[in-house]
């Protein structure tokens, strides 16, 4: 295999303060705002890429994702520990949607919307010691527009990256600790996944892709 071409970029710091553990970046194309959270500080942030305005609100630690709700300006779904909440940015208030992984020492990790607006998210064990994660405590879930949660995969250690093929027939999911990429057959109409292939990564390559970021379709 030929080597990858050298990639050069000019990097510029745009945050006026330090983020300890940045998670869940989501770009809203309509508003030009980039949202993200800080798991350690419990902060929700947005950057207006047009004006470079930067705003933040804070809750308790444990936030890992933030996704705008379709058709509801200023409202988002966020995760805190094992739960999902709706966030009203202007009121700085949260309402519980659901809690998963009952009786487990886990938290939500990555989350992303599928092409139809369902929110898919995974869980993982809390890192009680540096680099130490209890295996197979995490799971993969989805939240539909009726606020119903479906369990799709268990026995996950670190639920991480999620993506869908442009033809809406494949769903990709990563377990970082296992160094595995799970490739499922995906039905966009029903939100079901089936048959899967597991690829174990032994070498790391950088691939450039273009992705859009759907919003949550939530009543």
Would you give the DSSP letter of residue 209?
-
How do residues 171-189 score in pLDDT, each as one tens digit? Answer: 999 999 888 889 999 999 9
SS3 content of the chain, % helix, strand, coil (to 5): 0, 50, 50
Query: Is 120:112 a contact under the CB 8 Å cutoff?
Result: yes
Q: Domains in the chain, start-ordered, CATH in brackets?
A: 22-200 (2.120.10.30)
pLDDT at 212 over 50: no
Element (H, E) at 180: strand 180-187
Instruction: Give the pLDDT band of residue 215 (cuts 50, 70, 90).
Output: low
pLDDT at 52 over 80: yes
How do residues 8-34 score in pLDDT, each as one tens digit? Answer: 778 888 777 788 999 999 999 989 999
Dihedral (C-alpha) 21, 27, 28, 30: value to the nearest 10 degrees? 150
Sign of CA dihedral 159, 160, 165, 168: positive
How do residues 79-134 score in pLDDT, each as one tens digit? Answer: 999 999 999 999 999 999 999 999 899 999 999 999 999 999 999 998 877 778 88
Residues at the annotated binding site?
Answer: 23, 107, 109, 127, 160
Residues at the annotated binding site for a divalent metal cation?
Answer: 23, 160
Which distant-in-sequence residues (6+ apart) come within 8 Å of 48 by Cβ? 31, 32, 33, 54
Residues at the annotated binding site for substrate?
Answer: 107, 109, 127
């Amino acid at each position: 295999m030929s080597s990858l071409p050298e990639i050069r970029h000019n990097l510029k710091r745009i945050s006026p303060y330090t983020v300890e553990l940045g998670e869940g970046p989501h770009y809203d194309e309509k508003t030009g705002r980039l949202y993200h959270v800080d798991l350690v500080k419990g902060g929700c942030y947005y950057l207006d890429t047009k004006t470079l305005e930067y705003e933040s609100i804070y809750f308790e630690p444990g936030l890992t994702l933030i996704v705008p709700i379709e058709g509801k300006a200023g409202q988002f779904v966020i995760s805190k520990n094992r739960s999902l909440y709706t966030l009203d940015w202007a009121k700085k208030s949260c309402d519980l949607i659901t809690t998963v992984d009952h009786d487990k020492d886990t938290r939500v990790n990555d989350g992303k919307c599928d092409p139809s607006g369902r929110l898919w998210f995974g869980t993982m064990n809390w890192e009680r010691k540096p680099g130490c994660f209890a295996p197979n405590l995490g799971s993969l879930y989805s939240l539909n527009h009726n606020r119903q949660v479906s369990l799709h995969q268990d026995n996950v250690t670190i639920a991480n990256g999620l993506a869908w093929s442009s033809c809406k027939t494949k769903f990709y999911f990563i377990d970082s600790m296992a160094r595995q990429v799970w490739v499922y057959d995906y039905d966009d109409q029903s939100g079901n996944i089936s048959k899967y292939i597991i690829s174990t990564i032994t070498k790391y390559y950088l691939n450039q892709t273009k992705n859009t970021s759907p919003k949550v379709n939530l009543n």
